[in-house]
Amino acid sequence: MKRIVTILILFLLFAVSVYSQKDHQKADRLYEKAEQSYGRHDFMQAFKQINEVLKEDSAYCNAYLLMGDIYYDMQKPDLAINAYTKAVAIDSALFPPAFYIMANLQFELERYPEAKRNYLTYLSFYPKNQTEIRKAERNIGLCDFRADLMKHPVPFNPVNLGPNINSEGYEYINSVSTDEELMIFTRKGTEQGANESFYRSIKNDSKWGLALPMEPPINSDGNQGALCLSPDGMFLFMTCCSRRDSYGSCDLYVSHRRGNQWSEPENLGDVVNSTAWDSQPCLSADGRTLYFVSTRRGGFGGSDIWRTTLLPDGSWDVPQNLGDVINTSSNEMAPYIHQDGRTLYFSSNGLKGMGGADLFMSRLGVNGNWSVPTNLGYPVNTKDDEINLVINAGGQSAYISSAKEGGFGNTDIYRFDLPQEVRPAPISYVKGKVYDKNDLHPLSADLELIDMQSGKVVVNSFSDAASGGFLLSLPVDKGYALNVACKGYLFYSQNFSIENGRDLNNPLMLDIPMQPVSVGEKVILHNIFFESDKFDLKAESTAELDKLTEFLQNNPLLKVEIGGHTDNVGTDQHNLDLSQNRAAAVFKYLADHGIQKERLIAKGYGKTVPVDTNDTPAGRANNRRTEFKVLSK
């Protein structure tokens, strides 16, 4: 009896096995047909055949893998992940690269914890593909980095600048003037082969006016882009490509403004430009350092950030690479050096970021080294490319070009509040007009701004010949000496301080009347200083004394009187002696620096010639002064 039962059981098992083999063989045949349909890119037929496979065998792992491949090719990542997930749930060891494929899809979808888990699972199978291993290991670190940024988002409130600025095409922010009254940007149309052109907008009543194309010679029939407006508004540095005088595919050019007219762009020459691609210029506030991007030899990667400095003779020095703290083996782009002179913003797809190209900030230390770049954070940076960024002078706001949903076109310009931790030092500015004191006509004059504490020249600029206007950006909480010189005129000097917190909408305004050189005219030397109740010249007087020396050298026929004046504090004789000794100290400095003594007279007036009341501290300070007067010419 037991034997009969055993035979019966064996028979039943054999029957089930035969039936299962036939069932599996049918599923195999259907799967082969699905693969053939997939090979012909007949995805709908392949899906139909896959469903038939799963009806025959719901645990047919390869069917889910093929389904995932089809959804992958159809660019439906969520459905592809679902299919691969079902496949590895049935048999995780059948095709371990499925974990790698899923991880890549989840990585692109910014599902970083899931991506990391699947990368680790893939690596646990000890794969042999070294390229995949390196990518998995790199992306695991990026998963942690990006997940952390997304867990701690920075404040980000981008405001679209509206239809006066943005179009259905592409807008790329280039420059915003120091006073935020002028914006220049690059626009590219949507038509095939469209060139880039420069547009400008002027702010009226806190609103940007309708952007208009810049007139020739700035815009031309060729291809130009990546423009920088100098902080004083007098120069445009721009990129022009494939011009007759180009040294490479794209070169750096400069144009000078006179009134509302710009000069023909001039190539910066073969010291700055190379036979490669040179683009994306940005000028420092002092006008002496030009940052730009180049693919020239000697860099660390595809495109690097370089800088060149202006030499005393007006030529540019050999460019220097910013080094491997800033530049990587990939691409660094779009440098923006803030007017504080030490905070650099740029874009990189080689530094650790949210994906594509991210925006970074680095500060220049007192030792001349750049700090390790700081990612501007999420959601300022996203998985897409963030490249163009411009910061306003005060450092609170930024302008960015972005392809965000809900815009007017492909890429729009937005304004947002810059996160506190990546803001530069605040900058204010001085704005004014230089003109002839007698007939009030505007003058083009040289302006030199000196940090009174360090004695260093921080800005060299000039006023516009057509309007006499000028604008100088400068750090706050410092004292400055301003010297203004114009051929045929006595030079002008002034000093002032910029307080922290000064409203950028209410800058320091200076009208500068220039006195033609004529006998009897006087100039107050505002930037000559003495120790209290002494006649020892302070070190911060040197810049003004050198300017006076230069003025006398340029006007060799002039004979001048150096006059010393005091307030009414102290005895008459003491004040007379003090003023005489102070005038003599200036006399000696000039004589020691090459001015013939026969051209100089030192005279002390004591308190006898006040220019203000002696009843207030401010009035007495104005009366304590040094002047020079033209005696003959």
Q: Where in the chain is the domain with CATH 3.30.1330.60?
A: 430-632
pLDDT of residue 192: 79
Residue closest to 177 by CA, chosen among 122, 236, 260, 218: 236
Tell me the C-alpha to C-alpha distance, in Å, between residue 402 and each of 63, 110, 359: 41, 19, 12
Give the pLDDT band (50/70/90) at residue 196.
Answer: confident
Alpha carbons within 13 A on the beta-carbon side of 574:
7
Residue 12 pLDDT exceeds 50: no
Summarize pLDDT for 56-99 with one digit per residue, the tens: 999 999 999 999 999 999 999 999 999 999 999 999 999 999 99
pLDDT of residue 504: 61
Bridge partners of residue 307, in order along the sequence:
291, 320
Residue 15 pLDDT exceeds 60: no
| Interatomic CA distance for residues 375 and 511, integer angstroms | 43
Q: What is the CATH number of domain 159-422?
A: 2.120.10.30
Pairing mode of beta strands 374-375, 358-363: antiparallel
| Average pLDDT score over residue span 306-329 | 96
SS3 content of the chain, % helix, strand, coil (to 5): 30, 30, 40
| Average pLDDT score over residue span 91-120 | 95
Residue 408 pLDDT exceeds 70: yes
pLDDT of residue 458: 85
Separation of CA 467 from chain center? 29
Give the pLDDT band (50/70/90) at residue 349.
Answer: very high
The CATH architecture to which 430-632 belongs is 2-Layer Sandwich (3.30)
Percent of the chain scoring above 90 in pLDDT: 78
Tell me how crowded residue 532 is: count the other CB atoms within 10 A of its CB: 5
| Interatomic CA distance for residues 528 and 543, integer angstroms | 9
507 φ, ψ to 5°?
Answer: -70, 170
- Look over the chain and give the mean of its residue pLDDT values, rounded to a whole number: 91
pLDDT of residue 95: 95
Residue 499 pLDDT exceeds 90: no
Summarize pLDDT for 165-194 with one digit per residue, the tens: 999 999 999 999 999 999 999 998 888 777
pLDDT of residue 505: 62
Task: With H, G, I as helix, E, B as strand and everything else as coil, classify residue 173.
Answer: strand
556, with CB counted inside 10 A (0-12, 13-18, 19+), is exposed
Tell me how crowded residue 503 is: count the other CB atoms within 10 A of its CB: 8
Query: The pTM is what?
Result: 0.84
Summarize pLDDT for 198-243 with one digit per residue, the tens: 999 999 888 999 999 999 999 887 777 889 999 999 999 999 998 8
| Interatomic CA distance for residues 210 and 27, integer angstroms | 66
368: which 2 tokens? 């001349």
| Average pLDDT score over residue span 269-290 | 95
Residue 5 pLDDT exceeds 50: no
Listed in sequence order, the residues at least 6 apart from 42 whose beta carbon sits closer than 8 Å to its beta carbon are none
pLDDT of residue 584: 96
Rg of the chain over all Cα atoms, to the nearest angstrom: 36
